[in-house]
Amino acid sequence: MAKQTAPRKAGRSAAPAHGDAHGAANWDQRLGFLMHDVSRLRRKVFDEAMRPEGVTRSQWWVMAHLSRHEGISQTDLADALDLGRSALGGLVDRLEALGLVRRDADAHDRRAKLLYMTPRGQAMIDTMRAKSDRMSEAILQGLDARQRHELAEMLALVKRNLLEFKS
């Protein structure tokens, strides 16, 4: 029979006590799992919020990036999203068929296609942002403005460290 553990009491830190050798050895792994789970759950909740709009996770991910980088080439967008060109091409095909994005030829390179949001796509971005704002308020409930700012700063620092990490 598996050993059951008592639930954690509210207010206790996730960090191990300095004298807890077992906790100290696994704290970094627990933090990694926690960050992964938070990210996964946030995507899952947002997927559910966007389902009535008929936009998939991959599609809203492309649209969100494109809305901040209009006029980006398909190749550069594929690189930025760490997607294969073919995979991104299929996503853009579907978004274009839905009337959410458009491709224009690059005036300097006829082979390249530049991506832009359509008015319908921009309206979808506005819907996505409103849903994201409501979701963020719900998931950050219990954190005051200062704590939210600190959390964002800490996560930005972790992101910078990950981007600079050399194995």
The CATH number given to whatever domain includes residue 115 is 1.10.10.10
Per-residue pLDDT, 6: 45
Q: Residue 5 falls within a domain, yes or no?
A: no
HEC readout, the chain: CCCCCCCCCCCCCCCCCCCCHHHHHHHHHHHHHHHHHHHHHHHHHHHHHHHHHCCCHHHHHHHHHHHHCCCEEHHHHHHHHCCCHHHHHHHHHHHHHCCCEEEEEECCEEEEEEEEECHHHHHHHHHHHHHHHHHHHHHCCCCCHHHHHHHHHHHHHHHHHHHHCCC
CB environment 23-49: b (16+ within 10 A), e (fewer): eeeeeeeeeeeeeeeeeeeeeeebeeb
Q: Residue 35 falls within a domain, yes or no?
A: no
Is the pTM for the entire model greater than 0.95? Answer: no
Residues of the chain with confidence (pLDDT) below 70:
1-25
- Residue 147's domain comprises 42-164
Number of domains in the chain: 1
Q: Residue 119 falls within a domain, yes or no?
A: yes
Per-residue pLDDT, 79: 95
Q: What is the pLDDT of residues 21-68, one digit of tens each?
A: 555 668 777 888 999 999 999 999 999 999 999 888 889 999 999 999
Q: Residue 27 falls within a domain, yes or no?
A: no
The β-bridge relationship of strands 101-106 and 109-117 is antiparallel
Q: 62 with 128: CB under 8 angstroms?
A: no
Per-residue pLDDT, 9: 44
Q: Residue 14 falls within a domain, yes or no?
A: no
